[in-house]
Amino acid sequence: MIDYLEKNGRVFYFVDGDPILGRGSFRANHPGQLAAPHGLSVLDASRLPAFAPDETVRNALDAGVLTVVNRSRPGWERMLETPKPGKKRVNLLALGDVGGTLLTGLKLLGGDVIESIGICDLSEQAVARWEFEMGQVSLPWDYGAFPEVEAVDTEHLFDCDVLVFVASKGIPPVGSGVRDVRMAQFESNAAIVRHYARMAREKQFRGLWAAVSDPVDPLAKVAYLESNRDENGIWDAMGLLPEQVQGYGLGVMNARAAYYAKQDARFASFLTEGRAFGPHGTGLWIANSIERYDDALSSELTELTVTANLKMRELGFKPYVAPALSSGALSLLLTLRGEWHCGSVFLDGVFLGCKNRLTPAGVETELLAHIPDALFAHIEDAAARLKEII
């Protein structure tokens, strides 16, 4: 069996792995990832095994055009497709507080990568309102600078390159006393995700499913798994590829950590050396620094970050503006531009938040030279917590 295939200026390197929980495909940035492609070690060069590929594969790796493909997954041939170039059509589902704010950010900042934006909601009145409002947002005499916003019905919801899933139900009200607001929404929101994941399957959706609804990371996995089951619930790999789904919740956690780092000099190293790992909520870990990691400082900064949403609720407001912009609009635009951002990608059988970017050769996760043992243990704990949920 061949180990690699050259096609359209790219090299595809074939590996084996779990057909469901193994990674589908990704851009490699270290030869050790070819020998250990599916686990958390892909984030840490010091934990990867030694491996010496042949000259063609090595040259492709150095040139950034090497894509690792899990051939154990049925339908792996789809992973060889060339990404569609040019600006993207983005459709956004649900126009509540988060959806409306996210839409505003995409409209104002996305003209370089977004062709147009479709909006869909159960409320026709909400759709009409936002289409009307966004239609009146423009620069004088440069009326095509921003992407047009138009109504789209559910029948055409998946006629796009990116589906931004913001639909949600049952958000605990301010003053409810619910501590883990995100997980309180899991069951009700999972039912909504299952419905639309089946629609994505029926429509043979080939774009990016951007999961924004809480809890982001488990719901991203629900979308992936449910889209790949037939009407009897049997897995058949006919739905979304794992790399077609990304969770957008880590951006605001990273931004919240930066906010506190600006307030307290003890955390200042985060602004230049820090990282955020894990889910949008319990299990998140903020590293004060990779080079000068301090577990106690990181623990304190993590606690401040995880509970920041509760601080806003104590003020009497729902914490949706920063998530809609930092996790939503800004992170999505970085994704479309192929730039580094914070988001959850499929790794070790879960959608785990880390620094990553979307390249023509696939999703690339940041490779650090060495992750301190204590920090790596927290990342492993985050993955284990997510596995317990789904």
pLDDT of residue 180: 57
How many Cα atoms within 13 Å fall on the side-chain side of residue 124?
A: 1
Asked if residues 73 and 237 have their Cβ atoms less than 8 Å apart, the reply is yes
At 187, is the pLDDT very low, low, confident or very high (cuts 50, 70, 90)?
A: confident
Cα separations (Å) of 112 from 38, 50, 91, 150, 206?
Answer: 34, 41, 16, 18, 22
pLDDT in tens, 196-215: 999 999 999 999 999 999 99
- Residue 186 banded pLDDT, cuts 50, 70, 90: confident
Closest to 117 measured CA to CA, from 165, 141, 152:
152
pLDDT at 173 over 80: no
What is d(CA 56, CA 185) in angstroms, rounded to the nearest whole number? 48
For 48-79, write each residue's pLDDT tens digit. Answer: 999 999 999 999 999 999 999 999 999 999 99
Buried/exposed 188-211: b ≥16 CB within 10 Å, e otherwise: ebbebbbebbbbbbeeebebbbbb
| pLDDT value of residue 169 | 82
| Residue 177, pLDDT above cutoff 60 | no
Rounded to the nearest 5°, which phi and psi values hold at 33?
A: -70, -15
Inform me whether the pLDDT recorded for 179 exceeds 70. Answer: no
The amino acid present at 115, given as its one-letter code, is E
184: confidence class by pLDDT, cuts 50, 70, 90: low
| Token pair in block for residue 2 | 């061949």
| Residue 320, pLDDT score | 96
pLDDT digits (tens, 9 = 90+) for 241-280: 999 999 999 999 999 999 999 999 999 999 999 999 999 9
- Name which of 22-31, 166-175, 208-217, 294-303 the model is least confident about: 166-175
